[in-house]
Chain A
Amino acid sequence: MGDLITNLGLGFQVALSLDNLLFALLGCVIGTAIGVLPGIGPVATISLLLPITFGQPATTAIIMLAGIYYGAQYGGSTTAILLNLPGEVSSVVTTLEGYKMARNGRAGAALATAALGSFFAGTVSTILVAASGPLLTQVALSFGPADYFSLMLLGLIISAVLAQGSVTKAIGMVVLGVSLGLVGTDVQTGQQRFTFGIPELSDGIGFVSIAMGMFGIAEIILNLERPESRNVLSSKVGSLFLTRAEFMRATPAVLRGTALGSVLGILPGGGAALAAFGSYMLERKVSKYRHEFGTGAIEGVAGPEAANNAASQTSFIPLLTLGIPANAVMALMVGALIIQGIQPGPRMVEAQPDLFWGLIASMWVGNLMLLIINLPMIGIWVKLLQVPYKYLYPSILIFCAIGVYSLNNNVFDVYQTLFFGLFGYFCSKVKLEAAPMLIGFVLGPMMEEHLRRAMLLSRGDPMVFVERPISGTLLAIGAIALGAMLLPGLRKGKDKALAE
């Protein structure tokens, strides 16, 4: 306990330095902005801004990128409540009750519930990250190569199982990502693989190019094809204060949402959107006021909003302790760290205490900032919606182009991004998800290294993966997760939960 306080002290020292405060604020502001704007999400934004962060110290860069991620969860709820327009996937459920509350004249109360619930969830989950981080790291340090391989495999399986749509296609995309990760120089023999003699490919396919192309550019086109439907109604916000009765109803929902969100955030493939859906389902089952659902029940705002924020914080746990990304945003964080020369993993706590504790402390500071950015300044954010998409998409495009060029000062990266833009568009047309591919791409090279090392140590005996207790358990969980998806009942339930 004493350690925790000392460490958090160090963290706050880092997080409260002027530079880091400014960049946390910048991240939160950008996050809120893209959260408000439909058509651009945190994955696209973070990949867009990755090249810009290279000049900064690693800690500052990660603090800013993290701010974008959880800032987007706050921003998304604003438009969901006021305009029935989810700015992010994670706030789709908020529209269900939040907009109804706004129509009933309780928009202010809904916004306050969302913001305060998020803040509470953010605080709790930040403490959770701080407390569980070092513990899990200790466990992770006892992992051998075989255990690591199985852990990554489990991560990939679960992220595919939880992905939208067909599990087979999601696993296919994961494996495709792993295969793309193999392009480049083989670390152990120095042989060039799948480079077609192109020198630019000897370091592998550009991570930023894939992320920008599949999430930034492809998204632009999909948005352009959809007719714009943004009727900016200036509904009255009204009083931000909750009545006593509302407060009493929202509190237990926030608590349940925080707990559920914290758990779902840690799961690979989980994250904010899944947590919000899960919490809404839960509230509809357990709330005493379930008959009010659909007409503006405050529980339906408080629970999901707390859950999505809790999940977006706890999804940092696998990244910070094991070096394994739980979702596409975390895959981008891995990319950002690797480009900074830091290998994410259990040694990060020891080797980079500034980064580890600074990031945790900054999450809490960022949540506090978001509360201030969001509640009193809601009018400004709603105004932002008046920027039409036809001016937004060219801006995104040129930021992509300049950013990706500045990575290596090479136009090849621009063309590479263009290629992945086309590929990403094609994939979305045939319903192949891009997120599992990105996670596979990041984990692929690490998996190969651990596989080779494990097989060398076991003298070529593949049974090592089953015989080692940790590895065996992880594989068993993976097998159960896959097997469960074969049961038609469960699969239908999942589809229903994700389809709304």
Chain B
Amino acid sequence: MKLNTRDLIAGGLLLGLAIIGLWLNTDHTLGTARRMGPGYMPMLAFWILGGLGASVMLLGLFNGPNPLDKWTKLEVIAVPAAVVAFFLVYLVARGAGAPGWYPLGFALFAACVTVSMAEGWRPIGLVHAGMATFGLMLEVFGLMVALAATLTVAAFAEKTHSVKGVIGMIIFLCVLCWWVFIRELDIRVPLWPTFLVQ
């Protein structure tokens, strides 16, 4: 057997999404071919998607070998750990009464940080953790603090960063963002921590 692992996973992804889509689509009226309801086009799209996913998987059984990159043990453990962290933190944050999108933000942050414990996942984990930090901090702490925090988190994704370099980068980018987004484009975001300004 010449297994093409990448194709098997890719096809499985497409097929899985199609099945979920078809299942969700049972809520929508199909209508007739003449008068299509809201469910008609999704039905067509998901059936085609499923068919393509299945054929990618089928072809993947023969057109290999194309294995995935080797994962270290830590990398293997980190992925399910991140999924667990996501749901755990989400439920805890919801239970603690965090409003709006904060539970989602905390959960994403926790998952991204968890996955970064494996060195191979550090770029993807910490860049996304930086993004989550931004979402979590922006509305309360203001743009400047959120930027500084985001940049600090994201800087850990690259090994060669130095403390001095990161500080310089934060100052430079804070000034640049202030100039572009606040002065020139005048977007509506709090600039400084809201609890200090009031």
Contacts and interface: CB of A to CB of B under 8 A. Distances in A.
B89 interface: no
Interface string A50-80: 0010010000000000000000000000000
Nearest to A172: B52
Contacts of A52: 180, 185
A178 B127 contact: no
A22 interface: no
Given A194-B24, A397-B131, A179 B188 contact: no
A233 interface: no
Contact of A430 (B6, B32, B101, B130): B6
Contacts of B76: none
A411 B155 CA distance: 22
Contacts of A462: 33
B10 A169 contact: yes
A500 interface: no
Interface string B19-43: 0010011001000111111111110
Contacts of B188: 406, 409
B34 to A, nearest CB: 3
A217 B128 CA distance: 8
B124 A425 contact: yes
B139 interface: yes
Given A224-B157, A451-B41, A455-B36, A414 B55 contact: no
A17 interface: no
B41 A409 contact: no
B56 interface: yes
A239 interface: no
A55 B138 CA distance: 22
B123 to A, nearest CB: 4
B52 A225 contact: no
B87 to A, nearest CB: 15
Nearest to B176: A395
Contact of A393 (B34, B127, B135): B127
Contacts of A40: none
Interface in B97-145: 100-101, 104-105, 108, 123-124, 127-128, 130-132, 134-136, 138-139, 143
A176 interface: yes
Nearest to B143: A402
A399 B147 CA distance: 10
Contacts of B38: 186, 188-189, 191, 193
Contacts of A143: none
B59 interface: yes
A193 B131 CA distance: 28
A422 B37 contact: no
Given A225-B123, A414-B134, A166 B34 contact: no
B113 to A, nearest CB: 13
A378 B46 CA distance: 50
User: Chain A: interface secondary structure?
Assistant: helix
Interface string A393-416: 111011111100110010110110
Contacts of A179: 17-18, 21, 42, 45-46, 49
Interface residues of B, number: 71
A402 B18 CA distance: 33
Interface residues of A, number: 62
A421 B6 contact: no
B151 interface: yes
Nearest to B15: A172
Interface string A454-466: 0110011010000
A417 interface: yes
B9 A430 contact: yes
Residue of B34, B139, B155 contacting most chain A CB atoms (<10 Å):
B34
B158 A390 contact: yes
B36 A452 contact: yes
A189 B37 contact: yes
Contacts of B127: 217, 220-221, 224, 393, 397, 421
A460 B14 CA distance: 29
A188 B28 CA distance: 13
A395 B143 contact: no
B181 A401 contact: no
Interface string A164-183: 00101101100110110010
A415 B132 contact: yes
A448 interface: yes
Contact of A402 (B21, B25, B177): B177
A456 B147 contact: no
A46 B162 CA distance: 30
Residue of A393, A394, A401 contacting most chain B CB atoms (<10 Å):
A394
A418 interface: yes
A460 B154 contact: no
Interface in A416-445: 417-418, 421-422, 425-427, 429-432, 444
Given A166-B7, A175-B45, A452-B41, 14 more contacts: A169-B56, A172-B53, A179-B46, A191-B38, A224-B157, A391-B169, A393-B127, A394-B130, A394-B155, A397-B130, A398-B134, A401-B135, A401-B150, A417-B131
Can you list the 6 inter-chain pairs with the closest CB atoms, starting with the nearest?
A: A460-B34, A224-B123, A414-B135, A186-B38, A172-B52, A430-B10
Interface of B: 6-7, 9-11, 13-14, 17-18, 21, 24-25, 28, 32-42, 45-46, 48-49, 52-53, 55-56, 59, 68, 100-101, 104-105, 108, 123-124, 127-128, 130-132, 134-136, 138-139, 143, 147, 150-151, 154-155, 157-158, 160-161, 165, 169, 173, 177, 180-181, 185, 187-189
Interface of A: 52, 55, 166, 168-169, 171-172, 175-176, 178-179, 182, 186, 188-189, 191, 193-194, 217, 220-221, 224-225, 390-391, 393-395, 397-402, 405-406, 409, 411-412, 414-415, 417-418, 421-422, 425-427, 429-432, 444, 447-448, 451-452, 455-456, 459-460, 462
11 contacts: A166-B59, A182-B41, A186-B28, A189-B37, A221-B124, A391-B169, A395-B169, A409-B188, A411-B101, A415-B135, A455-B34
